[in-house]
Amino acid sequence: MNHPLNQQNIQAWDHLYAETGNPVWGSHAIHFLHEWEPALRSLGLEGKPILEAGVGEGRNLGFMLTLGGNPVHGCDASPSAISKIPAPYRENVHLHCCDLSKIPLPDQSFAFIGMFDVFETLPHAREVMHELHRICAPSAHILLNIPDFSDSISSVGMEPQPDGGFLFAGKFYYRFYEEEEAVSLLESAGFRIVESRVHSWEEEPHENFRHETHHHTSRVFLIRKAT
Ligand SMILES: C[S@@+](CC[C@H](N)C(=O)[O-])C[C@H]1O[C@@H](n2cnc3c(N)ncnc32)[C@H](O)[C@@H]1O
């Protein structure tokens, strides 16, 4: 069952990307990725299929491509975001425009999935984690971040929704998870927590989205398919 806000949310993100030719999130990989590089390298991903879920305009693909995975896939529900992914990445990444709860790829496809700044934007996060579990190979890993209410975005113009989530700027869905709730959701989707760390970083303004330089705080989880 899809969440009533999912389609509206997907459209809001797509319009945001279509409004400007510039990359909304900038062109550098999300701040914490480099700190996880040693842990990801130790997974031995060379020559194994990997995916970035919710790839957006591809700011993290340069990093994903350095992990040695092959082939590298990316997916997002926004056609406008996908069309903005820079040419050098497009040539080396298989791109799919789809909802994350219905990814058009076979069971047990991937050894590793990265999902960055996406979980908290999903009205149907539980469904999505079950779908990622389906496409994970046995013992595959996922790296993802999940913010709680200490992330500064949680206190800017959020309208509460009946399901416990919020709408930012009246149209972008957000939901914040305390550690215990996040762990319980990930475990109930069939994953085991390998490691988690809290990261804080500063970001430049995002065109048509956040006008000020701002801080983010997020718990980053490395999880492994357990069942
Ligand atoms: C805050 S952006 C982050 C994009 C990218 N991961 C990055 O770090 O630049 C959230 C992304 O999630 C995507 N998204 C939101 N809901 C989705 C859904 N149901 N299925 C697929 N993608 C979705 C949006 O289109 C958007 O690109």
Q: What is the token pair recorded at 80?
A: 């406008």
pLDDT digits (tens, 9 = 90+) for 78-97: 999 999 999 999 999 999 99
- The Cα 25–Cα 199 span in angstroms is 18
Indicate whether 224 pLDDT > 90: yes
Mean pLDDT of 59-72: 97
Q: Does residue 157 belong to any structural domain of this protein?
A: yes
Residues 138 and 210 in one domain: yes
Amino acid found at 33: L
Q: What is the token pair recorded at 156?
A: 């800017």
As for how many domains the chain has, the answer is: 2
Q: Does residue 132 belong to any structural domain of this protein?
A: yes
Residues 93 and 139 in one domain: no
Residue with tokens 């496409």: 135
Cβ–ligand 1 distance for 121 under 6 Å, the answer: yes
pLDDT digits (tens, 9 = 90+) for 6-64: 999 999 999 999 999 999 999 999 999 999 999 999 999 999 999 999 999 999 999 99
Residues 94 and 124 in one domain: no
What integer pLDDT is reported at residue 55 of this predicted model?
Answer: 98
What backbone phi and psi angles, to 5 degrees, belong to 38?
Answer: -60, -45
Beta carbons within 8 Å of 76's beta carbon, 6+ residues apart: 54, 55, 56, 82, 97
Cβ–ligand 1 distance for 30 under 6 Å, the answer: yes
- Structural domain range at position 65: 50-98
Residues 80 and 125 in one domain: no
- The Cα 187–Cα 74 span in angstroms is 24
What integer pLDDT is reported at residue 203 of this predicted model?
Answer: 87
- The Cα 57–Cα 27 span in angstroms is 9
Mean pLDDT of 189-216: 92
Amino acid found at 60: N
227 pLDDT band (50/70/90 cuts)?
confident
Centre of ligand 1 to C-alpha 183, Å, is 21
What integer pLDDT is reported at residue 2 of this predicted model?
Answer: 72
- The Cα 193–Cα 197 span in angstroms is 11
pLDDT digits (tens, 9 = 90+) for 133-145: 999 999 999 999 9
Beta carbons within 8 Å of 59's beta carbon, 6+ residues apart: 23, 25, 26, 27, 28, 29, 30
pLDDT digits (tens, 9 = 90+) for 116-132: 999 999 999 999 999 99
Residue with tokens 């990725």: 33
1 pLDDT band (50/70/90 cuts)?
low
- The Cα 185–Cα 17 span in angstroms is 30
What integer pLDDT is reported at residue 69 of this predicted model?
Answer: 97
Cβ–ligand 1 distance for 175 under 6 Å, the answer: no
Cβ–ligand 1 distance for 115 under 6 Å, the answer: no
Q: Which of 76, 85, 218 to mutate to test the pocket of ligand 1 (most atoms within 8 A of CB)?
A: 76
Q: What percentage of the chain reaches a pLDDT higher than 70?
A: 100
Residues 192 and 224 in one domain: yes
pLDDT digits (tens, 9 = 90+) for 152-187: 999 888 999 999 999 999 999 999 999 999 999 999
Q: Does residue 226 belong to any structural domain of this protein?
A: yes
Centre of ligand 1 to C-alpha 138, Å, is 25
Residues 177 and 223 in one domain: yes
